[in-house]
Structure 1
Amino acid sequence: MKDDPVHANHHVQRDYPGKVKFCPLCGGAIAARLIIPENARRNVCTRCGFVHFPGPKLVAGCFVVDGGRVLLLRRGIEPAVGKWTFPGGYVDFGENSADAAVRETREEVGMRVALGPLLGVFTDSMSPALTVVIYLAAPGIDAPSLSDEATEVRYFAPDEIPWHDLAFPTTTDALTAWVASTRSSR
């Protein structure tokens, strides 16, 4: 049972780093302490002194654009199951964001893509532990397909985007930036 696969509980993942209770190095208890010289309170291990400096968790994704339309997927997993977003996910430790965006697109919608320029970097004020990096991409020869994470995939023109049914504030912000970029290039 220890080696049985599990689905990540993304609701619990969002509790990191705020609810960390034990040191990742020695397992000792964590307590908030004032750190000098920055004069900020940080979690510090009461046993070994490890200071936990929280940083954002990086998410990378692709706006696959074909004929002026962007590919979106309907989420098959929590959070925001059933809502629309772009293919994307967490960047693995040691992986660069561009490679992660390409990998996540392949995993979620089965497409190899040609990565283009960076569209932007977005942060959700309700989830400041997450930073989202979005690249523009052109589709390769693979047609989009379904997966556990994508129960529906579809291309949307700027005036067809389901604004009322988007998964996250960062999805809305990134799509808003993309739509603005399509209008400014006309």
Structure 2
Amino acid sequence: MKKHDSIHANHRVQRDYPAKVKFCPLCGAAMVSRMLMPENAERKVCTRCGFVLFPGPKLVAGCFVIDDGRVLLIRRGIEPAVGKWTFPGGYVDFGENAAEAAIRETREEVGMRVALGPLLGVFNDSAITVVVYLATPGIEAPSLTVEATEVRYFAPDEIQWHDLAFPTTTDALTAWVASTRKSRQSP
């Protein structure tokens, strides 16, 4: 492979981490399952250097871009869940905080600069923790990208619940819809 060849991440494979790790990320030796004390938990341990793999969820951050009471959703152009609806978001890079990642991912996926608002919530799926912020759109209209083959604003009663990408998408949208109902009921 040439130094500057680029690839697209296979996100289906990414979800196999850390369960299917076979080799030490530090020295390359084989990893084996061992009982780790004093936690009494089975962990993968390097047979050469003793590195212990402590699994944790991958952190994802995204934005609910809200305009006139409607939320911006994208139809995914990449796996997993290609063709399904979700909000702009993606993995938080090492050294980046969740708010920065939410803004960056929104810019990458729909070409919009957004003003970040309050935290909507934190939602969990077995291997992923998703941090979702409310945001207001900047001056750019949302655009299509490889990751977002369709972009559209949805009012709460227009959301296509049967066609959502992930359980965390459903959970976050459910929380947002509930918050819009509460704000309409407040005096």
Q: TM-score, normalized by length of structure 2?
A: 0.96
State the Cα deviation string for residues 29-52 of structure 1 (Å, max 9, x = none). 101111111111100001011111
Question: Post-superposition shift, 1:106?
Answer: 0.2
Query: Is 1:136 equivalent to 2:137 in the alignment?
Result: no
Instruction: List runs of 5+ in structure 2 lacking aligned partners.
Output: none
Query: Is 1:181 equivalent to 2:179 in the alignment?
Result: yes
Q: What is the rounded CA distance, in whole Å, between the counterparts of 2:28 and 2:78 in structure 1?
A: 31
Partner of 2:106: 105
Partner of 1:58: 59
* Helix, strand or coil at the partner of 1:185: helix
Question: Post-superposition shift, 1:129?
Answer: 1.4
State the Cα deviation string for residues 133-174 of structure 1 (Å, max 9, x = none). 100000011110000000010000000001111111110010
Q: What is the rounded CA distance, in whole Å, between the counterparts of 1:183 and 1:94 in structure 2?
A: 37
Question: Post-superposition shift, 1:2?
Answer: 3.4
Report the AA paired with residue 139 of structure 2. I
Report the AA paired with residue 54 of structure 1. P
Report the AA paired with residue 140 of structure 1. G
Report the AA paired with residue 147 of structure 1. T
Percent identity reads: 83
Report the AA paired with residue 174 of structure 2. T
Partner of 1:30: 31
Q: What is the rounded CA distance, in whole Å, between the counterparts of 1:98 and 1:177 in structure 2?
A: 19
* Helix, strand or coil at the partner of 2:127: strand
Partner of 1:2: 2
Partner of 1:85: 86
Q: What is the rounded CA distance, in whole Å, between the counterparts of 1:53 and 1:152 in structure 2?
A: 38
Partner of 2:166: 168
State the Cα deviation string for residues 34-81 of structure 1 (Å, max 9, x = none). 111111110000101111101110000000000000000000101111
Q: What is the rounded CA distance, in whole Å, between the counterparts of 1:151 and 1:29 in structure 2?
A: 41
State the Cα deviation string for residues 7-31 of structure 1 (Å, max 9, x = none). 1001111100000001101111101
Partner of 1:95: 96
* Helix, strand or coil at the partner of 1:99: helix
Count of matched residue pairs: 183
Q: What is the rounded CA distance, in whole Å, between the counterparts of 1:12 and 1:51 in structure 2?
A: 21
Q: What is the rounded CA distance, in whole Å, between the counterparts of 2:137 and 2:120 in structure 1?
A: 16
Q: What is the rounded CA distance, in whole Å, between the counterparts of 1:160 and 1:68 in structure 2?
A: 12
Question: Post-superposition shift, 1:87?
Answer: 0.1
